[in-house]
Structure 1
Amino acid sequence: MGISTSAATTHNELSLAESAYRRVRDMLITLEIRPGEPINEGILATELEVGRTPLREALKRLEHDHLVQTYPRRGTFATIVDITELSNISEIRLALEPLAARRAADSASETARTGLRQLADRIAALDMDSMSASDIMRFDIDVHRAVYAATGNGHLEDVLIRYDNLAVRIWFLVLDKMPPVSGHVRGHTELLRAIADGDADLAVDLTTSHVADFQHAIRTVL
């Protein structure tokens, strides 16, 4: 039995909305779309090569993520990065990131463990001296998302991605004031390998230090 036209259209729109959501989300957290900047749906839909309907669905989700805000008769804007939220965000991450590291180390599939080792090898092989801080930080995002996915707990993954996104926005806001981030990102190789090897205690210790160091580094430059 074939898929009906309406069902196929719905599936396609959901796929387009998910793609639009992920692409706009990453533009927002890396400040490619600057805080406070208006979202022009027509221009953005053309740039992403999607229709207005999936883009609007993506923007609704991004509003729930506190990355955009819609105002009646004014439009949709990228939210302002609120530095004062750093403590609250870090408190949540300090509670949940070690939990994710332990669960991933204990429960990740062999496919996920292989992916973590491969990501560790990619980071170890990077010539970071020739890379911008922004490009290096994109690997930090990749590491966190890979660890969250390896937990096999979709609810935990969704929550952590949301709060990591907010933390990354703060990081990108002060990136030009920060010391080199290469050491910070390269240090993830040990975490990735600890999880891949099933060393939960080491993974928890490394994750806790990483989140605490992030908060300290940001406060140092504020």
Structure 2
Amino acid sequence: MPVPARQHTSLGEAAYRQLRSDIVSCRLAPGERLTERALADSTGFGVAPIRDALTRLDHEGLVRTLPRKGYQVAPLTLKSVDDLFAIWQIVGPAIARQGVREANSEQRRRAVAVLTAMAELRRPEPTDDRDRVLRMAELDGEFFDILVTATDNDHLIAVSARIRSEMARVWVLVSEADVPLPALVVDEEWIDIVRRGDGEAASARVQAAIAEAHGRILRVLSRWPSVVSSEITSLRR
């Protein structure tokens, strides 16, 4: 019996969300080879929903289609990470400028709540550095989700989502390194900037934070000489 169109669409969406989550979290590692049949067997979805999901992920740049060989999770290299931060250095401050300026009172309240949670992560407590890094990356994503939504710019929203999906993979990999990664600086001044809707000051703050994270992450990655000329799959040692 054929699968009804609505059910097929629903299964395709569910398969897409699961595979996307597995890629962003690096459960499916950068560079890993994929086939529709193997993914259908491991996830419980049919081949058709898996094919739909992989097509969407290919369009988003998270997987590559390999003619006659299946698919591959988009690899990461030192250059691709460097390029990713170079683009985010342009897009991130633009989102901050427009988003903070145009956010409504509820969006500002939510943004302040996220910044407050980020500031809490700076306090010394018996938590794993990996957990701290991943939580910081999660909060950073929430913050930019709020701001980019406030811009009401569909193109900016789409570009931001793609960049931050890639950024999430980088943070997951870096969190495996046995290297302390201090939280980004969030203080009362930053919170006040958001409350008063100062887009220019927000843009400057974000630009400085991205530049600092860019340099710090490249330093971490370059500690493993092999990643300079090959794909990055894991930093765990």
Whether 2:131 is the aligned partner of 1:130: answer: no
Percent identity between matched residues is 26
CA distance in 2, matches of 1:188, 1:68: 38
Whether 2:80 is the aligned partner of 1:80: answer: no
Count of residues in correspondence between the two structures: 214
Question: After the TM superposition, which residues 144-163 of structure 1 pair with which residues of structure 2 at under 5 Å, given as runs?
Answer: 144-163=144-163
Deviation, 1:114, is: 2.8
**What TM-score does the superposition give when structure 1 sets the normalisation length?**
0.77
CA distance in 2, matches of 1:47, 1:198: 47
Question: After the TM superposition, which residues 58-207 of structure 1 pair with which residues of structure 2 at under 5 Å, given as runs?
Answer: 58-125=53-120, 129-131=126-128, 133-134=130-131, 135-136=134-135, 137-177=137-177, 179-184=179-184, 187=186, 191=190, 194-207=193-206
Gaps of 5+ in 2: 223-237
Higher helix share: 1
| 1:150–1:58 CA distance, 2 compared to 1 (3 A) | farther
- Amino acid in the other structure paired with 1:152: D
Gaps of 5+ in 1: 1-5
Whether 2:219 is the aligned partner of 1:220: answer: yes
- Amino acid in the other structure paired with 1:204: S
| 1:34–1:92 CA distance, 2 compared to 1 (3 A) | same
- Amino acid in the other structure paired with 1:101: A
CA distance in 2, matches of 1:44, 1:190: 48
- Amino acid in the other structure paired with 1:111: E
**What TM-score does the superposition give when structure 2 sets the normalisation length?**
0.73
CA-to-aligned-CA distance 1:5-40 (integer Å, 9 cap, x gap): x7xx44x55454444434422321231211222335
| 1:170–1:121 CA distance, 2 compared to 1 (3 A) | closer
| 1:159–1:177 CA distance, 2 compared to 1 (3 A) | same
CA distance in 2, matches of 1:155, 1:170: 23
CA distance in 2, matches of 1:206, 1:58: 37
Deviation, 1:208, is: 0.1
CA-to-aligned-CA distance 1:197-216 (integer Å, 9 cap, x gap): 41212211111011111210
1:211: which partner in 2? 210
- Amino acid in the other structure paired with 2:143: V
Kept in 2, the 8 Å contact 1:101–1:151? The answer is no
Deviates more, 1:170-179 or 1:69-78: 170-179
